[in-house]
Every structure is written in structure tokens, then in C-alpha cells.
Structure 1
């Protein structure tokens, strides 16, 4: 998708060349309506964390027209280019107690046409309303993953009509999506985590969009995810993505509602009579792709409705991966995909935890002293978690009976081995290794209660 122009409902702007408000100078003006927080020292801080060299809004620079059309067709007369060194850590502290409207006004005033609002189709429609209230021109973009709820697409349409804007949609690369689906199916994320699918459908399209900008505005709030967003500042040098000029510090990230509580955002939306996604009335709070989003129950945190089968401590799709502390960053498996770090499951003194060598030895034995029942699992898998109680109870029940019960974590680096040597199809896979046979027998049923598993073992032991 090519990023194009959006503006407030009170007036339409052609390529942001002019404004109908006589109090607002054109984008080509050098006037800084909101002077930035500038360091007084003569030291070059451009390479220090939290600082960034920012060009004036009308300064000409390289722009890749294949990604983002040149929207500012009307340029001011040639002037000597000026640069300013902005301490964004200091600016974040100055704006810590500022209202979302003030923060939004600072962001739009500072970056003009080189900033855009990231709109997900959830309650961050509040950002668009704040932008409208500033009276400044603004742009809105969104990521269409191809897996959104129909209600979300209807909401996009309602927002465009409400504000008289055109949302700038970014789409995933069709070849990449085709390769992922053909190789791993439509729902691979339930088996090996959401990161690979999100990387194809969301992260890479976002990266393309941000390469045409110098700043972006998000709806992140500190209370959305205590595990990953509790320290989100109102403005920062983006720690993950690059902007128009490329390199570290080339993109600024604004989070105007970082310090606002969710209930206050909703009070604002109701007061301003802003359109909202109809999914919210069905129990959805945090809204993403349809297969990865579900309603939450009363008392549950809003992020519990996202990727519910995975670790609750690291629920980021990659768009805001910079929120993850170093110890929380997922590890890469042998296929280059990310595997979340989660607490282990199937914990019992009557369960043997098998490693790769143990599984290889087990598959080579023709004559075992006793049969083995082994579950191939991933601790983040919702189906593995669901059967944990029954499998542990079965292990306790079979203790001393002559049947060994074990577990083998088969995700990450072990997944390819498990697929090739252990018939792993999806998690969990349960195998019985008979006493006098080297060939494992795969449990065929979806019933994973104690009685069904016991019947399977007794029939083949």
C-alpha cells in the first residue's frame, strides 16, 4: 500500500499544501509553533540514547517514492537547512503530566506531514479524535493483515466517513503470505507461536510504512500490558524501527495516551460520541486478528484475549517489541522463528523429563524393560495446558505399575527432529513405546481425559 493523505473532517487538504485555518501556517513554513526541548550544551548528543537530530518540517530529504508518494508538492523557497538536537528523554519528562491533546499537538506540530497515526481498529480511535481537536492536518495508517474480523473492516469504513479521511492501508507481501500458508497451513501459530505469522502479516508491512516517516503515533498505554508496557514513555526514539533517513534514531515514537487509564479513554470516546468497533460490545477489549483474538471474562486483563495460548508475560506481536526487556526477548529456534520463554508444565515426581538424547535412545531400543508413554508438548500451547491436569493424574496413577510416563518439549530447536523422527503433527502428540517394539504407537484421539488415556495404555501395554 502506498501511504497517502488524510486530514480532519473540518477541511480537506490536497497533499497537505495548505490549511483552511488562517491561524495555522502551511506545512512549508519554518515557524515552530511548539519549540522542542533543545539541549543548551554545544556537545553533539545525536548518538546518545534518547536524543535525535531532527530536520525542520520543510527540509528536503531523500524519500522513496515507491513506498510513500511525495505528499508535500509545494515547497518553500530554498533556505539553508537547519538541524536541531532534541533530547527526547528530557522531552518525555517534560510531557509526563501533559494531556493527550497537548502531546498530540506537539507531535503533529513538530513533524507535520512526516508523522502518521497507527490505527488498529480498536479504542485507539481516540488518537484520531485528539488529532482532529488540534485543528492540524493529520495522517492515519493501518495494517490490513487479511485476517481481521468483518466488524473491524466495517469500523474502518465508519471512521473514514466520520472524519472525512482515507486510512492509508498497508498489506503483507502476497508471496510471503502464500509461502507461509502453503508450507505451514492457515493456523500454524497455534502450534509454534504467533511471531512468524505476525512478522509476515504485520511487522514487515509496518517496517515499510515507517521507512516513509520520521515519526509515528501509537495508542500504547501503560495499563494495557503490565508485563511489557508499564514503562512506555509519552515520546521516545524508536528502539526497533527505522525512519525516512535510516539508522538508529531516525524514527520518533509518540504515545499520547501512555499515562491514561483504559476507563478514561472509554469515557472520552463516549463523551465525544466517537464511533467504536462493535466487537467491544461482545466482550472484546484488545482487538487484533480474528484467529488470535477472543473476548475476555469479567476480571480478566484485556491482553488475556490476545494469543491466549501463549505466555502472558510477552504478549507483543513485534510492532512494539522494544517494550520487551532483554530477559523477556523470545529465543530463536532452529528455523529462525521465535519461541516464547514460558514456565514449564507437566510437573510431577512421577513424570520423567526427557531430553533429546533420552528420546533418541528410547526410539532405538527394541527391548525395553517397561513400556513408555510420552507426550510431545510445547508449554505455551493451550491444548497442552488444557490436558496438564489429566496427564499428571495419569502419571501418578501409573506410578509403580510398570509403565513409565514421560514428557519431551518438542518446540523450538527440537521441532524438526520431533517431526521427522517422532511423528509430531501438532501439540500435544502422545506416543506409546511398547515393551517389545521399537516402533512408537501414536495416540489417535482428541480425548485426553484420564479414562481415555488409561484405556489406550491398557490396550497396548
Structure 2
């Protein structure tokens, strides 16, 4: 893996295969901004250590006539004293450091990360708006490295974007690929789209988590684009720096890898202000309604009122909208609450079925509240006197709350039409039943029960306005 200088657009042969000193590097001049004159690796005077490791410089990219070597395999092993290139000494109270940097700017946090770890840290770039990380790294004036996970299932637009970013910054992104044997075994045994049936975790584990694990084994720290506002249920307490709770670094073992999240406290609007101001290239998928961008089969555009993560793994429950790369930041309490349960899995409903902190929704005179027995009767009827459209919901779900007005409007428009409008609360004790019998994947799920069909038909679109729902009903009546 090559050390990338933001001021250099190209190098001969492989990217720099030797360590760059501060004398070799001249950072960019941006207005009156000057690169900070600091060494790449902290001296022993600035960081004390309980743990010492002597390593050679990391070689990121093999010669072109050799086979591509995974990032971790390309990192050099600890060698004899005669082969030592530098010493990295690490000992830090990262909880204390996170509090110290809580109100720091992303640029300051990025500068601290790059200055502390030098060639042993890299930016994780997904092809979405976390290009802001690369821009901040450039602005520090320090050398930096960038890696990305190529799952083999990305959009064509994302691949073109990778190329544009490389040319814009004059860098070579270090790509990590899934193990071909593992991918082959998964596809041969379960098909190309098994994740639609049994969840995305297995596919993500093969195509993303394991390649990332290999990449991080060649590093002592990594930089991510996690933000607290990306997924309030799972990322609300992301610190700006932490000891990685899941993955291991170069030295191996718990605590051997540090994770930096410089934009944790920024919101999406601030990120986009930076990208526009600095004229940074962006993925063309953003102009097509995509906000959070992942693999092509698992990513959809979102509507203006939808949360950005709703376009990821849209067929699954809200708590599952993580691929495993940031598993350590998922809050178990919050994840349980998203499912209407406490930490022990017990329902948080009152005896009357309501949630203490959330009032019921979809309350209107022409919307029928259906019980479990009522839903079971609807399923059993092969010839119904009237068709029904029913929303499976949870009152705490922000997406259900967001569509409440349109569903009430739908009920008003359908009054007297012969179509009944109903709601069924499908969280808590009813969730397993709804998943097994009513096709519940995530909240809200909308079902249409035709007059002459024994099976309900699931509404397939993310458009939940009244007119779209009426068009769906009219096509099936």
C-alpha cells in the first residue's frame, strides 16, 4: 500500500515504495493556508508507550507483473533490528482524547490522526459523500492513504467515481476484494440474491467485513465517515476517536487498532456545503436520489422526507441497516427499542397495547384498528365482500409517523369506494406473527387484500403518498 502525497499527481512505477520524510514532502498552498510542519510519526517525546513495535515501511502496491496481494499480506512483518525503518510508540487514553476533541473541527481531528499514525493509518472510502475525508486530509498538507472495498456488486457510477477521485487528488486508491472462493461458494449454494430472502449479513460478511478485516490487519488506525445523524438508532453516540471495539490492527489483539471518525458531529448538510465549496467531485448517483450508497442490489434512492439509511436494505427491519463494518458502534439498547422491546427482549407495551413514550398513530374515523384475530380472518377468507388495504406499523417508527398524514388522506379519498382501510400494530408480541404470515420486513409494510384472492399483496414501492397508493389499489381491484 503506497503512501500517497496530496501534492503529487503521479509517480513512476509503483506509487512511492519508500517512506517519505518531511524534507521530501511539500504540501499544497491553498489561499493563506500552509501545511503543518510536523513529522509523519510522533516522536518518543510526545507519546509514551507500554507497547513497542518495529516495522518496515508498508508497501501498498506490488509490481504490476506480480499478482495482486491483499493489503494485509503486503504489509511487512516485524523483522530484525538491522531492518528496522522506524518505531511507532502508542499509549493513549482514547476516551479522554475523544472528550478533548469533541468540539474540535474535522480538519483538526484529521490532522491529529494523520500526524499521530503517519503511514500506519488509512482513510476508508466508500464512494459516497465521505470523499469529504479525503478533502480534509488534503487540506492538512500531510501525506495520506485511501483504501476502498470493491464488493464486485457496486454501481457502474461508483466505479466511474473512484476513477474521478483518483484523478482529482492524484492518488491511487488501495482496493480490497472479497475472497473469490468464498464468493463462489456463497453464490453456488444460495444464488446471486439470497440476501433478499435471509438477510444481508452473510453476503456483507463475505464481500465486505472479511476484506476489511484483512485490510485493517496492515494498519494501526483507520479513518471512517461515520456520522451521528446517519442512523440515529445505531450511530447516535459515535465518538470522534476510539479504540476499535471489533477489528484488530497490525499488532493483533484487543486494543491494537484505533478508529477515527472526524465528521461524527457533522450533519449531512454541512458535509455537502464543504463538497460544493471546495468543488469536490461527487458520485452521480446522488443526483438520482441516492444518499447513502452501497452495493447496487441493496441500495435505492430515497424520497425527500425519508431518512438516508432507508434506501439501504429496504426490505429489512430498521435495526438491521448496518453491514457489520461498524458493528461496535451499534447501541444494543437503541436497537432493541427500535423493535419495541427492552434489553431482555420483553415488550415495552402497556397492557392496552400502547407504548409508554409514543402515542398511537393512524387514528381516524375511517381507519379500522384490526386485532390479531381480525387479521387472521382476513388471511383465511378466499372471497371477501370488500377489499382491504392495511398498514402494518409501530407507533415509535419515524417512517410510520412520516406517512401518517398520507394514509389518513388515503382513507378519506377511499371513503364510500368499497375499499376498507385498516391498521395493524405489528411490533412487540405481534412481530413474529407479522413476519411469518404478513410479509413484514420493515416498518411500515402495506398490504392489499383483494376480494377474490386468498393471499395479501405487498405494496412494493417506497412512494407512500395517497395518489401512489390509490394507483396500486386500482391496478389490483
- So what's the TM-score if we normalise by structure 2? 0.63
Mapping of 1:345-356 within 5 angstroms? Answer: none
Equivalent of 1:32, from 21, 42, 47?
42
Match of 1:319 in 2: 325
1:114 aligned to which of 108, 117, 120:
120
SS across alignment from 2:234: coil
Partner of 2:2: 5
Q: Distance in 1 between matches of 2:121 and 2:250?
A: 11
Provide the TM-score with structure 1 as the length reference. Answer: 0.65
- Of stretches 77-86 and 106-115 in structure 1, the one that deviates more from structure 2 is 77-86
Give the alignment's Cα RMSD to 1 decimal. Answer: 5.6
Matches within 5 A, 1:35-184: 55=52, 58=55, 68-70=72-74, 77=82, 83-174=89-180, 175-176=182-183, 178-180=185-187, 182-183=189-190
Match of 1:293 among 295, 300, 304: 300
Unaligned runs of 5+ in 2: 27-38, 61-68, 339-347, 349-357, 374-387, 417-421, 460-468
Higher relative contact order (CA 8 A, sep 6+): 1
**C-alpha distance 230-67 of structure 1, shift in aligned 2 (>3 A):** same
| 3-state SS of paired residue (1:228) | helix
Deviation at 1:417, TM superposition (A): 8.9
Shift, 1:321, TM fit:
1.5
Q: Residues 272, 54 of structure 1: CA spacing in aligned structure 2 closer, same or farther, 3 A cutoff?
A: farther
Report matched runs for 1:199-218 at 5 Å. Answer: 199-218=205-224
User: Match for residue 65 of structure 2?
Assistant: none
Aligned residue for 2:248? 242
Distance 1:19 1:284, change over 3 A: same
Q: Summarize deviations over 1:417-450 as a string: whole Å, max 9, x none.
A: 98xxx999xx999999xxxxxxx9656998x99x
431 and 201 in structure 1: CA distance in 2 versus 1, 3 angstrom threshold: farther
Unaligned runs of 5+ in 1: 40-52, 332-340, 356-372, 398-404, 433-439, 457-461
Cα gap change, 1:212/1:293 in structure 2, threshold over 3 Å: closer, same or farther? farther
Contact 2:233/2:335 (8 A) holds in 1 = no
Say if 1:205 and 1:415 are closer, same or farther in 2 by CA, change over 3 A: farther
Report if aligned partners of 2:447, 2:458 keep a CA contact under 8 Å in 1.
no
For residues 120 and 412 of structure 1, do their structure 2 counterparts lie closer, same or farther at Cα, with a shift above 3 Å needed? farther
Whole-Å separation in 2 of the counterparts to 1:131 and 1:179: 37
- Paired residues for 1:325-336 under 5 Å: 325-329=331-335
